[in-house]
Chain A
């Protein structure tokens, strides 16, 4: 206990000295050890600030605008207390006042308060009168922690490359080995044959030529019935394939173009459970299921400037995903360092995947809002697609089929009450399909 309190008393000077002496690695190491030691013992003291609790409070209250090492809406906060006391001569009391009611501090004419307020374009910091002294001490203890050394991510990255390259390489090796093996076998056969013939010639054995028979080919050509059957077979099978080829013209099922930004629906809609309509909001109200303008991306990516290490997969590394976020910043003109828009934008040329011919009309809002269909009914398991592709054929037969099979949701919909009553009487059914409501009328989609 004595040791602890001794260290506790030394605590803050150590932090200061450490900063000043950072150019002496040995001294730094010693001090760091002591510092670490003191941190290890801190939980024993009830009145000592607890960085763990501070982290929870920080994440709940501050993290919307502040990060430890990166400028966000507000400044980076690591070592904020040391920095303030050293550079500005402001003590903890000042911080208490600022956090609880920054507007009052600014009004009082405090120089530094006004400076920081103007530096961040007059973004007013929310007042936190509900945080007690203890809460604030905990938060400050959290901000005073040293940055954790980067976890050795390089090794896992290397391992990843190896395993990736390994599978591709081994496949190639196996194929190559097989090809060489076959070549050797063929060569062997040829050599054996040649040698045997040479032996035969040397030993005076005459190789018996096969007895002359009319060749199979000639017999076949002479048999007109067989010829006819073959001709018919070839005609039919080629007709089958030609028909198949023509029928798939204009159908882009499985179309999976490379997009300018590698946007993963799997991460956004699948893992994070963001509703489709969050980004494609105009699907609710218009013909088009709109492609989100980049400000919609920035709703989240203003704060999310890198992916979590757990998001990276074997196929796509964290660096890859971070570079894709950077592409977004470049396109929307967001300077992540300065946390402001530069005004220099460039359009992202997304490649359109689902494309109905111009002579067919389709309206998203009718299907999404009125019919209440899930997006996945037509677009497939988008939440599992790392790269978006066209799931459905989007042919007329496919549309018609769904209209024949799907019952119209008429419950709680006054608009359909009368027509439903009249039509269900006419067809003698309880539930009406979209087709029975007129969903097969030509003019519904072609006009």
Chain B
């Protein structure tokens, strides 16, 4: 009998709950499915023309001209003592290092395993802090945008760390 009960356990469906109305939220939960939303999808992009608190606008377009303009004109708002190399490295290792490699030479684990090819070394490209930030924001060619993974301040921290790596490579 015990084995009978045991064998009925099905891991592909959730268990019973006591008093589900204490377990299930009344409000909308993140990633929930509710009819009021388009596609019943609670996870939505910000409404067009609005901007979230604590965020700011980015003035450069996702075009070649925008890239050139950012390359020349865009400067980091971080002062020298605001640059947190430790955090920059942490974030770089999570989001960038997997392709660009820990040293920025384009030899990340995915490149070494030949999953993604053609990742250039930072030393081989004429990049500035403006263009680095621009590419993190919009992506470029095969690289996607990281604007939704890193907030503005974090993007500048990573930019500073990439610049440091590039300086190290060019030595």
User: Given the complex, which residues of B lie within 8 Å of A60, measured CB to CB?
Assistant: 106, 117-118, 120
Cα separation A245 to B1 with both chains bound (whole Å) = 14
Is A166 located at the chain interface by the 8 A CB criterion?
no
Asked if A249 contacts B15 (CB within 8 A), the reply is: yes
Interface residue SS majority, chain A? loop
Q: A65-B142, A273-B98, A358-B24 are in contact. Are A303 and B116 (CB under 8 A)?
A: yes
Is B125 located at the chain interface by the 8 A CB criterion?
yes
Cα separation A278 to B92 with both chains bound (whole Å) = 10
Is A272 located at the chain interface by the 8 A CB criterion?
yes
Q: A73-B141, A250-B23, A251-B15 are in contact. Are A300 and B95 (CB under 8 A)?
A: no
Cα separation A273 to B99 with both chains bound (whole Å) = 11
CB distance from B77 to the nearest CB of A (A): 20
User: Given the complex, which residues of A lie within 8 Å of B124, measured CB to CB?
Assistant: 130
Complex interface bits, A228-243 against B, C-beta within 8 A gives 1, otherwise 0? 0000000000000100
Cα separation A63 to B142 with both chains bound (whole Å) = 10
Cα separation A357 to B17 with both chains bound (whole Å) = 10
Is B47 located at the chain interface by the 8 A CB criterion?
no
Complex interface bits, A212-226 against B, C-beta within 8 A gives 1, otherwise 0? 000000000000000
The listed residue (A290, A295, A308) touching B115 by CB distance below 8 A is A308
Asked if B118 contacts A288 (CB within 8 A), the reply is: no
CB distance from B52 to the nearest CB of A (A): 13
Cα separation A124 to B69 with both chains bound (whole Å) = 15
Closest to A64 in B: B118
User: Given the complex, which residues of A lie within 8 Å of B151, measured CB to CB?
Assistant: 285
Is B3 located at the chain interface by the 8 A CB criterion?
no
Interface residue SS majority, chain B? loop
Complex interface bits, B67-100 against A, C-beta within 8 A gives 1, otherwise 0? 0000000000000000000000000011100100
Asked if B94 contacts A278 (CB within 8 A), the reply is: yes
The listed residue (A62, A130, A349, A355) touching B118 by CB distance below 8 A is A62
Asked if A298 contacts B144 (CB within 8 A), the reply is: yes
Asked if B11 contacts A255 (CB within 8 A), the reply is: yes
Asked if B11 contacts A254 (CB within 8 A), the reply is: yes
Complex interface bits, A331-354 against B, C-beta within 8 A gives 1, otherwise 0? 000000000000000110110100
User: Given the complex, which residues of A lie within 8 Å of B149, measured CB to CB?
Assistant: 278, 281, 296
User: Given the complex, which residues of A lie within 8 Å of B144, measured CB to CB?
Assistant: 295-296, 298-299, 302
Q: A122-B64, A248-B15, A352-B31 are in contact. Are A277 and B94 (CB under 8 A)?
A: yes
Q: A63-B117, A250-B17 are in contact. Are A291 and B31 (CB under 8 A)?
A: yes
User: Given the complex, which residues of B lie within 8 Å of A124, measured CB to CB?
Assistant: 64
Is A382 located at the chain interface by the 8 A CB criterion?
no
Is B165 located at the chain interface by the 8 A CB criterion?
no
CB distance from B147 to the nearest CB of A (A): 9
Closest to A248 in B: B15
Asked if A252 contacts B141 (CB within 8 A), the reply is: no
Q: A272-B109, A303-B116 are in contact. Are A288 and B12 (CB under 8 A)?
A: no
The listed residue (B13, B43, B114, B116) touching A293 by CB distance below 8 A is B43
Cα separation A257 to B11 with both chains bound (whole Å) = 7
The listed residue (B16, B64, B141) touching A249 by CB distance below 8 A is B16
Is A123 located at the chain interface by the 8 A CB criterion?
yes
User: Given the complex, which residues of B lie within 8 Å of A288, measured CB to CB?
Assistant: 30-31
Asked if B17 contacts A249 (CB within 8 A), the reply is: yes
Q: A255-B14, A278-B95, A296-B149 are in contact. Are A272 and B110 (CB under 8 A)?
A: yes
Complex interface bits, B14-56 against A, C-beta within 8 A gives 1, otherwise 0? 1111100011111000110100000111010000000000000
User: Given the complex, which residues of A lie within 8 Å of B120, measured CB to CB?
Assistant: 60-61, 64, 126
Asked if B15 contacts A255 (CB within 8 A), the reply is: yes
CB distance from B89 to the nearest CB of A (A): 13
User: Given the complex, which residues of B lie within 8 Å of A161, measured CB to CB?
Assistant: none
List 24 contacting pairs A-B, 8 Å CB cutoff, sorted by A.
Answer: A59-B114, A64-B120, A64-B141, A64-B142, A122-B64, A126-B125, A130-B124, A248-B15, A250-B15, A250-B17, A255-B14, A257-B12, A257-B14, A272-B109, A272-B110, A273-B109, A285-B151, A295-B145, A299-B144, A299-B146, A302-B142, A303-B115, A308-B114, A358-B25
Q: Which residues of B contact A (CB under 8 A)?
A: 2, 5, 11-18, 22-26, 30-31, 33, 39-41, 43, 63-64, 93-95, 98, 106, 109-110, 113-120, 124-125, 139, 141-146, 148-151
The 6 closest A-B pairs by CB, nearest first: A64-B118, A63-B117, A63-B118, A299-B144, A357-B23, A358-B25
